[in-house]
Structure 1
């Protein structure tokens, strides 16, 4: 018995050479929605807004209960409102990266956009937009609180927030967002990234660095080279004349806590395979 061997036909192919790439603006919108259009992201944003309102309310309560006029001013409100912004919002840039691995959405994300560098850049852009939006909301609340506090005290409204301090405060908040983003790319795990960020950005400066800085002279020389908040301190103080050395400290801390994690994390994102 003989069989006839059939010649296989041409393998069907899908020609995508003429297909337009996904616009970068669409990638940014998608990453923005992935941060906010979830139950966790929505409640995190609501909690941050509540913290901002409570902070302004507490300041106004102190003004109302104090018999003597208290001059807080726009600069005072800006410093106060950076605290709630620093507590919860850095979680967003961490989750924007780790969700692709923790929630296993990477198979869809990297299939629709195989170029992972473009995905990372879209995530960074959405994180920066979110940071700027929340800073604008905080500035509006601070301005309203400043007007109400002056009316309660019967004094003139003090707008003592100069442009230099405002710009540097915004830059500092953006740097912390990028630090959180970089740490997220390194660990690709939400719990680990959040824990490391809060230890580095909050616990160490508040509990360790502040104690060492107050006791030892060598700590005053070393800590500004390894901590972003201490490095930015002379630049944020309008009464302190910043020097070239102060700028170098900022550059070194940015290299340690932002550039290095972003470089290591980007290489890991490009090499790792979500499952």
Structure 2
């Protein structure tokens, strides 16, 4: 009778690693990590610094203009002023939160620690929403301080007239543009290309292409609010504003339909197509 002995030089199969009992990463922890990743970098730090300096500069300029020309400004006006610098630079956070996984190759780590990509995208989206809310709270606080300072310098009565409906749509407008940047980032997956396309769509098209369309085409003023988010939101955000062709804006049922269609084009569609691409894109 003979027995078989194991060859000490033979290659043994690797031991199986059982991770079935390992708890999943909580969504709240993922969201906090993504928020920290947006802000806790040199690029994020300096972007916040530049945004803060721009906020102070615009406040000073507006204060000097209204005092020098004996103009009046209320709390609602200050809130609208404060949202301008926030909407110019901060959407870059929404873009880089997505594209950094590809441009800086951090996705090799992120999607290994949490293989469910759409869960990470959801955490990034939650971080973006928190950033929008935080910036709007900051805008209201700074607007209140500026309003008090204006009253002290001008000697006029301080007017606290923030319209609840207008403020709601101002926050919604900020959020929609952040989500537009987020969706385009998922769709393009390139930081410079996404930033360029976002600012072309959000800033250049309304002031250059659309204004030309209004002049050259008679039906331009009727069509543009259906395809441009800024023109669609204008009656809700800026009371008394004018739309394409200088036509006075008023809120009607058509206004909400235009907002819905423009949101579908520039927010929902990029988010859906971008989420599909992120779920399938190869990470190198």
TM-score, normalised to structure 2, is: 0.90
- Measure how far apart 1:76 and its partner are: 1.5
1:116 equivalent to 2:117? Answer: yes
Match of 1:222 in 2: 223
Match of 1:53 in 2: 56
Match of 2:209 in 1: 208
- Measure how far apart 1:9 and its partner are: 6.5
- Residues of 1 paired with 2:80 and 2:18: CA distance? 56
Match of 2:19 in 1: 16
CA, structure 1 residues 215+31, in 2 after alignment: closer, same or farther (shift >3 Å)? same
Verify the 8 A CA contact 2:66 2:73 in the aligned structure 1.
no
- Measure how far apart 1:113 and its partner are: 0.3
Give per-residue Cα distances to partners, 1:114-154, cap 9 Å, x unaligned.
Answer: 00111000000001111111111111111111111122221
RMSD (CA atoms): 1.9
Aligned counterpart in structure 2 of residue 248 of structure 1, from 257, 264, 268:
257
- Residues of 1 paired with 2:232 and 2:118: CA distance? 30
CA, structure 1 residues 221+132, in 2 after alignment: closer, same or farther (shift >3 Å)? same
5 Å-filtered alignment, 1:1-275, equals 11-66=14-69, 68=70, 70-213=71-214, 216-238=217-239, 241-275=250-284
Structure 2 gap segments, 5+ residues each: 241-248
- Measure how far apart 1:78 and its partner are: 1.9
Give per-residue Cα distances to partners, 1:178-211, cap 9 Å, x unaligned.
Answer: 0000000000000000000000001111222234
- Measure how far apart 1:271 and its partner are: 0.5
Judge which range, 152-161 or 43-52, deviates more. Answer: 152-161
- Measure how far apart 1:214 and its partner are: 5.5
- Residues of 1 paired with 2:177 and 2:271: CA distance? 13
- Residues of 2 paired with 1:20 and 1:49: CA distance? 40
Structure 1 gap segments, 5+ residues each: none
Verify the 8 A CA contact 1:52 1:138 in the aligned structure 2.
no
- Residues of 2 paired with 1:23 and 1:154: CA distance? 53
Give per-residue Cα distances to partners, 1:247-273, cap 9 Å, x unaligned.
Answer: 110000010001100111111100012
Verify the 8 A CA contact 2:55 2:82 in the aligned structure 1.
yes
Give per-residue Cα distances to partners, 1:4-47, cap 9 Å, x unaligned.
Answer: 89698775211111110001111011101110111001100111
- Residues of 2 paired with 1:154 and 1:26: CA distance? 49
Verify the 8 A CA contact 2:74 2:147 in the aligned structure 1.
yes
Count of residues in correspondence between the two structures: 271
Verify the 8 A CA contact 2:184 2:270 in the aligned structure 1.
yes
- Residues of 2 paired with 1:210 and 1:143: CA distance? 35
- Residues of 2 paired with 1:237 and 1:19: CA distance? 52
Verify the 8 A CA contact 2:173 2:237 in the aligned structure 1.
no
Judge which range, 213-222 or 172-181, deviates more. Answer: 213-222
SS at match of 2:219: helix
CA, structure 1 residues 74+225, in 2 after alignment: closer, same or farther (shift >3 Å)? same
SS at match of 2:22: coil
- Residues of 1 paired with 2:208 and 2:160: CA distance? 33
